[in-house]
A and B are shown apart, each in its own frame.
Chain A
Amino acid sequence: MLSKLLDPESVAVVGASPKQGSVGYVILENLVTRFGKKVFPINPKYDEVELWGRVIKFYRSISEVPDPVDVVVIATPAPTVPKVLEEAGIKGVKAAVIVSSGFSEAGNTELENWVKAVAKQYGVRVLGPNCIGVYNAYSGFDTVFLPAERAGRPPPGPLALISQSGAVAAAIMDWAARRRLGLGFLVNYGNKADITETELLEGFAADDRVKVITIYIEGFKYPGEARQFLETAKKIAAKKPVVAYKAGRGGAAQRAVKSHTAAMAGSYEMYHGLFQQAGVIEASSVREMFDMAKALAMQPTPRGRRTLVLTDSGGMGIQAVDALEALGLEVPEIPESVAKELKRELLPFAAVANPVDVTGSTTDEHYKIVLDALLPTPLFDMALVVTLMQVPGLTKNLADYLIDAKKYGKPIVVVNFGGSELVQRFEEVLEGNGIPVYPTPDRAAKALWALYKYGEIRKRL
């Protein structure tokens, strides 16, 4: 069922509108211009309207639609929703996205209960109400009522996001689009009258295009939910990394959570414990969640925690060591015999300890020499490579050497910082070839930690 919701073949939009600026207009535009499959606009006020250079036929009701409908998107005023849902049920539609607000979040619990009852009676699964719904970058199925010029749409890719907040989801979508981050799926479940984050987790677990699942959560809502999440997440995390960011940790933040989501929240320590038990990797911000998710999607897990730091800047190397050690990762020294051998091939003033500092006078080849000499050995499980491209000896060929080092099967992350076109191009090539790039050593270290942590989770589950 969830696969129909996330990846439908045909969609009806109740409340579709030719009036620019309305919710019904944006959703219709999304689907007509970017969704390659069947779209049926429903609005009794219109018959045929020319929009986006084509003639759009409106239907008076769902029952008039000649073809089967996989998903109905409902964007009509709240009081009309139960009736519309019933029509969808009679038509045999299996899933509904209720975009409309004015339900339990506004104190209108009775109306929401009515929606639940109708959904149950007709066997329609409901996402929402009060949600932005689904964005599927692969098919262009897109119920997000924010115009694409305001909230960019990310390209297809290995990440999926399950978000309790619609606004946070939209902001992440825009941010991911600008960075060309492959966020293939995004779902916001709003009031969670029916479909829960746990079921969405299962839905993404079953989709091979999704490599890493990210979750933005403020709090569970229903009794006993935490236990269901635990049991499901545990099974999924053994096969696919799940990264979560729980917002609302302190006292004041928890009050905010309650008023925002009407969720009855356990304490933050309970969520933390739950994530640990479930093998869910916990992030402490949205940015960190995607820093980690990117690495998990691109890189293998390391066998242990011993990290090689390779840098052309002494200062960046020191920062990297600080960050790695604070996270419980190791930065072991290079045995003297190995260092002596390596020193002969590098610049005389290069420091061959760990970090290995090839210095600002380095060339691309020096990076290659160090990686080829150390990464295949049992001395190291992974590498953090700082490439400040501002030094004269480095060129875009360095990217090829780094990509080539993937053959050793050990995680590699890169720290690269700057604004020149060379820097940007360099980053694009690396990320296009599965090597994640971060602007600061602490963020790269956290990404390596996530890979290490996931390796440990895999061993345990």
Chain B
Amino acid sequence: MTHPIVSRALSESRGKLREDEALTLLRAYGIPVPDFALVKNEEEAVKVAEAIGFPVVAKVVSPQIVHKTDVGGVIVGINDAQGVREACRRLREVVKRVPYAELEGVLIQKMVPKGVELIVGAVYDEIFGHVVAFGLGGIYTELYKDISMRVVPVDVEDVWEMVREVKAYRLLTGFRGMPPRDIPAVVDIVYKFSRLIEDNPEISEADLNPVIALEEGKGAYVVDARFILRINY
């Protein structure tokens, strides 16, 4: 059953979900995302940040800005109210610099500690239908084509296999003094994400990037997500 967030975007002929919608959709499927809220002004931003607890991240939300980091649209490590205000001002400047960009709001998000960065994705292929993908984040995935794929729907055992299959798996089990990561939490995210894709076939492409895997027992979080819809589904 298509989720209301997806139906609403489609009824408004939007081919893409907003950041806050994407995170809410993930949360609806039980996929852990750090606490967040979309705010419209500085005062609201400060209130939300204090409620969530520092440190937080502020991200520009604008339909015209796809690669937020490239234009300076992500400000990390904000530790107090003053920092939140400053961040809001800087993000307004960022929007001014990008032609035709409109500011829809600022996403305030709890900052996730450092961990191993992963990518979980989905794509629609005419022959295969929906396929989920898993790989290590960053440039290495592309460089080594170190990615595993499975056809939706998957079962939990399929997901364990696809996670173990990538060469980067060793980074999750603990490598060169680095601590082992919460692999069951990663598997759980991929499995629930496959369910989300199965329920919402209008999604033509999606990435959860990055997914941050924390140390054993501490979970894994989706920090950023992008969903592309087929408007003429």
**Which residues of A pack against B, CB within 8 Å?**
219-227, 230, 264-267, 269-270, 272-274, 276-277, 460
CA distance A222 to B126 in the complex (A): 8
In-complex Cβ contact of A226 among B129, B148, B154 (8 A):
B129
Q: How far is the CB of A454 from chain B (nearest CB, A)?
A: 15
B151 / chain A contacts, CB cutoff of 8 Å: 226-227, 230, 270, 273-274, 277
Chain A minimum-CB-distance residue to B157: A460
- CB pair B158–A276 under 8 Å, yes or no, is yes
In-complex Cβ contact of B131 among A264, A270, A276 (8 A):
A270
CA distance A266 to B150 in the complex (A): 12
Given the known inter-chain contacts A269-B147, A269-B149, A270-B149, please indicate yes or no for A277 contacting B127, CB distance below 8 A: no
- CB pair B150–A273 under 8 Å, yes or no, is yes
- CB pair A276–B150 under 8 Å, yes or no, is yes
Q: Which interface class (under 10, 10 to 19, 20 to 34, 35 or more) fits B?
A: 10 to 19
- CB pair A223–B126 under 8 Å, yes or no, is yes
- CB pair B127–A225 under 8 Å, yes or no, is yes
A227 / chain B contacts, CB cutoff of 8 Å: 128-129, 151
**Which residues of B pack against A, CB within 8 Å?**
125-129, 131, 133, 145, 147-151, 154, 157-158, 161-162, 165
| A/B interface sample: 16 pairs, CB < 8 A | A222-B127, A223-B126, A223-B127, A224-B129, A226-B127, A230-B151, A265-B127, A267-B125, A269-B145, A269-B148, A273-B148, A273-B149, A273-B150, A274-B151, A276-B161, A277-B154
CA distance A272 to B151 in the complex (A): 10
B165 / chain A contacts, CB cutoff of 8 Å: 276
Chain B minimum-CB-distance residue to A223: B126
CA distance A196 to B161 in the complex (A): 28
A222 / chain B contacts, CB cutoff of 8 Å: 127
Q: How far is the CB of B166 from chain A (nearest CB, A)?
A: 11
Given the known inter-chain contacts A270-B149, A272-B149, A273-B162, please indicate yes or no for A264 contacting B127, CB distance below 8 A: yes
Q: How far is the CB of A242 from chain B (nearest CB, A)?
A: 16
CA distance A255 to B34 in the complex (A): 43
Chain B minimum-CB-distance residue to A220: B127
In-complex Cβ contact of A274 among B126, B128, B133, B157 (8 A):
B128
Q: A270-B127, A273-B151 are in contact. List 10 more A-B contacts (CB 8 A).
A: A220-B127, A223-B127, A224-B129, A226-B129, A264-B127, A265-B127, A266-B127, A269-B145, A274-B128, A276-B165
CA distance A265 to B154 in the complex (A): 21
B131 / chain A contacts, CB cutoff of 8 Å: 266, 270, 273
A272 / chain B contacts, CB cutoff of 8 Å: 148-149
CA distance A226 to B126 in the complex (A): 9
- CB pair B125–A266 under 8 Å, yes or no, is yes
Chain B minimum-CB-distance residue to A222: B127
- CB pair B158–A277 under 8 Å, yes or no, is yes
A274 / chain B contacts, CB cutoff of 8 Å: 128, 150-151
B158 / chain A contacts, CB cutoff of 8 Å: 276-277
- CB pair A264–B149 under 8 Å, yes or no, is no
CA distance A220 to B126 in the complex (A): 10
- CB pair A277–B150 under 8 Å, yes or no, is yes
CA distance A276 to B129 in the complex (A): 16
Q: How far is the CB of B66 from chain A (nearest CB, A)?
A: 24
A224 / chain B contacts, CB cutoff of 8 Å: 127, 129
B126 / chain A contacts, CB cutoff of 8 Å: 223, 264
CA distance A264 to B128 in the complex (A): 10
CA distance A223 to B124 in the complex (A): 11
CA distance A267 to B151 in the complex (A): 12
Q: Which 6 A-B pairs have the closest CB atoms?
A: A273-B149, A226-B128, A273-B150, A269-B149, A266-B128, A266-B125
